[in-house]
């Protein structure tokens, strides 16, 4: 049983960027506990009581992943200090402003908002970044994670503008299109029906058949299935089969999705 004085970190991650930062954050804070949002949101009652609660997630289309937004709306939060950290490859957009608005509707403050640059992982649009770019972004991520951990440890307060109309529009369009985008996923003849994609899907949106995966509308578009597939047998849209893949180099599917516990 957690005590109120134990910091709690809640994260959402598809390819390991945010997970890596969440684990490093916990190490830096010392006694922090780490919880995957994809698991917590399935609880019948979501109650958060802590001295400090930290929410970590990637930016999706300038906004917050749908599951994270639902988690924040559902959770009953009792914490003296609230922080949100967004990891991003191209731009954090208005994701932090979105968190502030969601919390504000529950009469909760956002004490600290931080940005963590990471390697771009939406391969179908941006492709795989060059090795030197990845190395630079990984170093930036490590530095930003350390700085954010220091700020949270000292209970730093900052501010983020909640009025981000362009980001709000793009994020809303993404949320509308997300269930329909699942039809852009395709399995190729390289698929061995190993079932890894179904096991790691944080939304539980992949059903396995003898032929391979079938993608469901609950998909968060986190790209975990595409990037972790050992056969590179999952494509998206017009993506070519020989396109490279990416996940954080220090994160495995077993660690990220706790496959040993399944």
DSSP notation for 199-210: HH-TT--EEEET
* Residue 184 · residue 167 · CB < 8 Å: no
DSSP notation for 24-56: HHHHHHSS-EEEEHHHHTTSSS-EEEEEEEEEE
Q: Which domains does the chain have, with CATH numbers?
A: 8-168 (3.40.50.360), 177-261 (3.30.70.20)
Question: pLDDT tens, 27-79?
Answer: 999 989 999 999 999 999 999 999 999 999 999 999 999 999 999 999 999 99
| Model confidence, pTM | 0.93
Report how far residue 54's alpha carbon sits from residue 161's, in angstroms, rounded to the nearest whole number.
19
Mean pLDDT of 211-225: 95
Question: pLDDT tens, 113-152?
Answer: 999 999 999 999 899 999 999 999 999 999 999 999 999 9
Cα dihedral 18/23/26/32 (nearest 10): 90
Q: Quick one: pLDDT at residue 168?
A: 86
SS3 at position 85: strand
pLDDT band at 261 (very low <50, low <70, confident <90, very high): very low
Q: Which residue, chain included where needed, has tokens 């059903």? A: 207
pLDDT band at 259 (very low <50, low <70, confident <90, very high): low
């Amino acid at each position: 049983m957690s005590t109120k004085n134990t910091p709690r970190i809640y994260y959402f991650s598809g390819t390991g960027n945010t997970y890596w930062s969440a684990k490093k954050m916990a190490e830096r804070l010392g006694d922090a506990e780490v919880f995957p949002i994809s698991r917590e949101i399935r609880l019948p009652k979501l109650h958060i009581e802590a001295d400090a609660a930290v929410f970590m997630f990637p930016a999706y289309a300038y906004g917050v992943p749908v599951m994270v937004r639902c988690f924040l709306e559902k959770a009953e939060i009792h914490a003296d200090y609230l922080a949100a950290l967004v990891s991003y490859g191209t731009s954090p957009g208005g994701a932090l402003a979105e968190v502030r608005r969601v919390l504000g509707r529950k009469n909760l403050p956002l004490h600290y908002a931080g940005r963590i640059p990471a390697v771009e992982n939406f391969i179908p649009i941006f492709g795989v970044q060059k090795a030197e770019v990845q190395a630079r972004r990984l170093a930036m991520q490590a530095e930003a994670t350390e700085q954010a951990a220091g700020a949270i440890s000292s209970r730093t307060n900052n501010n983020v503008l909640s009025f981000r109309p362009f980001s709000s529009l793009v994020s809303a369009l993404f949320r509308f299109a997300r269930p329909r985008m699942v039809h852009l996923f395709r399995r190729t003849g390289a698929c061995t029906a190993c079932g890894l994609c179904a096991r790691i899907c944080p939304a539980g949106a992949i059903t396995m058949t003898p032929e391979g995966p079938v993608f469901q509308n609950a998909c968060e578009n986190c790209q975990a299935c595409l990037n972790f597939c050992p056969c590179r047998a999952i494509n998206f849209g017009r993506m070519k089969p020989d396109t490279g893949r990416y996940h954080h180099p220090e994160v495995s599917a077993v660690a990220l999705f706790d496959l040993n516990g399944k």
